Amino acid sequence: MDLNQYVIGVDYGTDSVRSVLVDASNGQELASAVHEYQRWKKGLYCKPAANQFRQHPLDYIDGLEQTIKECIKLAGGDKIAAQVKGISVDTTGSSPVAVDEAGTPLALLPEFESNPNAMFVLWKDHTSTKEAAEINEHATKFDTNYLQYVGGIYSSEWFWAKLLHILRVDEQVRSACHSWVEHCDWVPFLLTGGNNAAEIKRSRCAAGHKALWAEEFGGLPPDDFFSSLDPLLAGFTGRLFKDTYTSDVAAGTISQEWADRLGLPADVKIGVGAFDAHMGAVGGQIEPYHLSKVMGTSTCDILVAPANEIEGNLVKGICGQVNGSVIPGMIGLEAGQSAFGDTYAWFKNLLSWPLNNLLDQTKLITPEVAEALKAEMLDKIIPELSKQAAALPIDEVNELAIDWFNGRRTPDANQLLSGAITGLGLGSDAPRVFRALVEATCFGAKSIVDRFIREGIPVKGIIGIGGVAKKSEFVMQTMADVLGMPIRIHQHKHTCALGAAMFAAVVAGVYETVEQAMDAMGGGFDVSYEPNAANHEVYNQRYQQYGALGDFIATQVSKKHEVEAGETL
């Protein structure tokens, strides 16, 4: 192969977008750049108390342009840009948006520019719990189980629940909405200059795991399934898609506008997009039956298996299993936790209340010193909590927590559930509570591993990628002890973006298969956490307590919602 071939991987996360410029011959990173979403950073269009989280498409466009330009500048400018062959993109998901017939997100039109319902409905938005419950109940009325390939339970985090909610609550958006498009499908459409929503190449990953598309159905469920749920959905299947594409396929070639805008050649290939964890699993060099855990604000857990080895084995309570959603020719299975790093961030914010609300009132130091002190303290909270929590003895009577602070994704999606902390006493200080929260997130990880194993899918190892995996030795060692399994941490800092770059190399024709790209461009693992047998034994007992407490919380939440619905207890 020509050694002077470069590719770009773009990874859209919850808070920021990052791009990497990579040498396609060996995966060496020439440059990387990160852009924080400015509107999101200000909290615009979001109502956390109502579980509403929306992102403006301009944040995505700004980040795309700025990070790619910065990468090219850092790597050497025009000489490097001239040798870029492909770009692929991953995003969070399900994060869809209403678009007009041209495929333009409604928020990019003047009349909708400040309307949250016309923006991308972020994965963590749970405003559609009612709609998800209706879909689950409605599905039981059909001879065909249209939920069988998404674990049997439809989530409020997903495509159809979000669409139905937006159509119901906003008449203006409903009238203007021609189609409904995932973030990972819209960005390649944007880069290729698309102007017809019907021509958007839809990702196999997004469609199969979140939108009920299945090869076995010949596409989406029939229109009658949706229109009989709510007439507002009538006709939408015809304006969506029948065919889907794996991410080793090109969505098209970069448009002249975007080639000029980014300073790239006019023949750059743009790949079909996918969700971050799916491309991240490839960047992290996933192996069959090894669970790849992308650990950030939430977790997304990916496992791949040869199709002929699990044919007919449908795993209950996960986020779907789709042929080709990760590696073409293999079944991709997805699970995850709705809050992981977000749980630690919540506790940090709780402890930071005096810094955020009182420090600027002090008369003892200047405002400049107060701001610098605040920044220093905020940076130190989690590292110091981790250090002190790691030094505490592990026993069965410690504080105990449940990790459903943003609902439960898997096993068995239920976004109405909430977190809990029990066993508190006057001796419960911040490090002890923090340790309980960390243990809870690790117990949540174990419940996913146990579900796969119980359903006949072996888990032979754990691969850790993402911010928490790279930054927190305490969390990773606790997880290894809880699981009783080694955890290998991939060496690359931006693993999801690297995975996108690997797909870009295949789309550009540098490699024939994703496996070849992984072999050539993957850098291996730099850390391994080995389980402590004594700790694992204690954690097995703690895990039983976690399960019992979780059952209690789920029962109480169920009773609460029955009362709210006016049902008899």
- CA geometry: angle at 276 spanning 10 and 409, to 5°? 155
Closest CA to 299 of 162, 154, 123, 149: 123
Per-residue pLDDT, 565: 62
Per-residue pLDDT, 558: 81
Per-residue pLDDT, 499: 98
Per-residue pLDDT, 466: 87
Paired tokens of 505: 């190399």
> Is the predicted pLDDT of residue 152 greater than 60, yes or no?
yes
Per-residue three-class SS string for 284-320: CCCCCCEEEEEECCCEEEEEEEEHHHHCCCCCCCCCC
Paired tokens of 272: 């079909």
Under DSSP, the state recorded for 123 is: T
Per-residue pLDDT, 312: 81
Paired tokens of 439: 């243990």
> Is the predicted pLDDT of residue 251 greater than 60, yes or no?
yes
Residues 6+ apart with CB under 8 A from 488: 461, 462, 463, 464, 525, 527, 528
> Is the predicted pLDDT of residue 563 greater than 80, yes or no?
no
| Mean pLDDT on 499-527 | 96
Angstrom CA distances, 370 to 357, 358, 375, 378, 401, stand at 12, 10, 9, 12, 34
> Is the predicted pLDDT of residue 191 greater than 60, yes or no?
yes
Per-residue pLDDT, 174: 98
Q: How far apart are CA 569 and CA 556, in angstroms?
A: 11
CATH numeric code, 341-490+532-564: 3.30.420.40
Q: Tell me which of 2-16, 413-427, 520-534 is least confident.
A: 2-16
Q: Do domains 6-284+492-526 and 341-490+532-564 have the same CATH topology?
A: yes
Per-residue pLDDT, 310: 87
State the chain's mean pLDDT as an integer: 95
Q: What is the pLDDT of residues 344-358, one digit of tens each?
A: 999 999 999 999 999
Q: What is the pLDDT of residues 48-79, one digit of tens each?
A: 999 999 999 999 999 999 999 999 999 999 99
Instruction: Give the pLDDT band (50/70/90) at residue 568.
Output: very low
Residues 6+ apart with CB under 8 A from 224: none
Q: What is the pLDDT of residues 79-123, one digit of tens each?
A: 999 999 999 999 999 999 999 999 999 999 999 999 999 999 999
Domain boundaries along the sequence of the chain: 6-284+492-526, 341-490+532-564
Please spell the DSSP secondary structure of 45-100, one letter per residue.
Answer: T-BGGGTB-EE-HHHHHHHHHHHHHHHHHHHTTHHHHTTEEEEEEEE-SS-EEEE-
> Is the predicted pLDDT of residue 329 greater than 50, yes or no?
yes
Closest CA to 17 of 496, 443, 367: 496
Instruction: Give the pLDDT band (50/70/90) at residue 1.
Output: very low
| Mean pLDDT on 362-381 | 94
Task: Write the burial class of residue 359 (CB in 10 Å: 0-12 exposed, 13-18 middle, 19+ buried).
Answer: middle
Instruction: Give the pLDDT band (50/70/90) at residue 569.
Output: very low
Q: What is the pLDDT of residues 263-291, one digit of tens each?
A: 999 999 999 999 999 999 999 999 999 99
**Phi-psi category of 263—alpha, beta or left, where left has phi over 0 and alpha has psi -120 to 50?**
left
Q: What is the pLDDT of residues 393-403, one digit of tens each?
A: 998 889 999 99
Instruction: Give the pLDDT band (50/70/90) at residue 567.
Output: low
**What pTM was estimated for this model as a whole?**
0.91
Instruction: Give the pLDDT band (50/70/90) at residue 566.
Output: low
The reply to whether CATH 3.30.420.40 applies to domain 6-284+492-526 is yes
Which 3 state secondary structure label does DSSP give 509?
A: coil
Amino acid, single-letter form, for residue 356? N
Instruction: Give the pLDDT band (50/70/90) at residue 135.
Output: very high
| Mean pLDDT on 19-30 | 97
Per-residue pLDDT, 3: 56
Instruction: Give the pLDDT band (50/70/90) at residue 311.
Output: confident
